[in-house]
Amino acid sequence: MSFTLFGMRVEVSFFFLCALAVLLINDTQNLLKYAFLACILHESAHIFLLCHYGKTPKRLVFRLSGISLSSEYIDGLPYPKEMRVLAAGCVMNALTAALCWGAYQIFGGGKWLYFAFCNLSLMAFNLLPVATLDGGRMLRLILCRHFSIKVSDVALGIVNYTVLCLLLACGFLLLFWGYNNFTLLFTAVYLMIVSITRS
């Protein structure tokens, strides 16, 4: 499914809708909306800064792995601006988490705390040095400032697959130690497949 919103092409995959439906059905505590809002805030920060730098994005994709902007609208910016755009989502999540923590201290209520946790989790995940995530792309930018593109890509590849192997191991441990949590394992497998197909 696809449509145009404020001049931007929005694409929603069938599998994203299926996963969202399953999560909504099993979301007995009505907490999924907070995780989804954290994702929206994350991507909105990227979009805002891109527009500020005159690179209005034309495509926003909702897929099984999450919500993402097509990278071609970030590539081509000068180094400092590209780094700021890539970091903007995580900065937004950090600021939101801090505000929610403050609201929790003042007003109480578990929902403030949960929303803070959602934002911190999303920030930490996106900062992982995995090639397809913000952290991996920022690491590549830093490496390319000091080494050749070939050396940078080799170094990023080593870090990328090392982190993914660790995530896979942790996912298997969570599953077989009786926690019945497939999320980390599924995410690690998906990121591994994407990394292999794009390499």
pLDDT at 127: 95
What is the token pair recorded at 191? 């990121």
Let me know whether 114 and 25 are in one domain: yes
pLDDT at 61 over 90: no
The percent of residues above 70 in pLDDT, for the chain, comes to 87
Q: What is the enclosing helix (H) or strand (E) of 39?
A: helix 32-52
Q: Which of 58-72, 81-95, 144-158 has the lowest mean pLDDT?
A: 58-72
Same domain, 120 and 141: no
Average pLDDT, the chain: 84
The residue range of the domain holding 120 is 1-126
What DSSP element (H or E) covers 5?
strand 2-5
pLDDT above 90: percentage of residues in the chain: 43
Domain boundary among 91, 111, 126: 126
Are 139 and 120 within one domain? no
3, 98: one domain: yes
**Into how many domains does the chain fold?**
2
Q: What pTM was estimated for this model as a whole?
A: 0.83
Structure-token pair, residue 125 = 């995940």
Q: Say yes or no to pLDDT of 172 above 80.
A: yes
- Final residue of a domain: which of 91, 126, 161? 126
Same domain for 82 and 154, yes or no, is no
**Confidence category of residue 73, pLDDT binned at 50, 70, 90:** low
Helix (H) / strand (E) element for 8: namely: strand 8-12
Element (H, E) at 174: helix 149-174
Note whether 114 and 27 are within 8 A (CB).
Answer: no
Q: 16 or 132: whose pLDDT is higher? A: 132
Q: Do 27 and 121 fall into the same domain?
A: yes
- Domain end residue (candidates: 74, 97, 126): 126
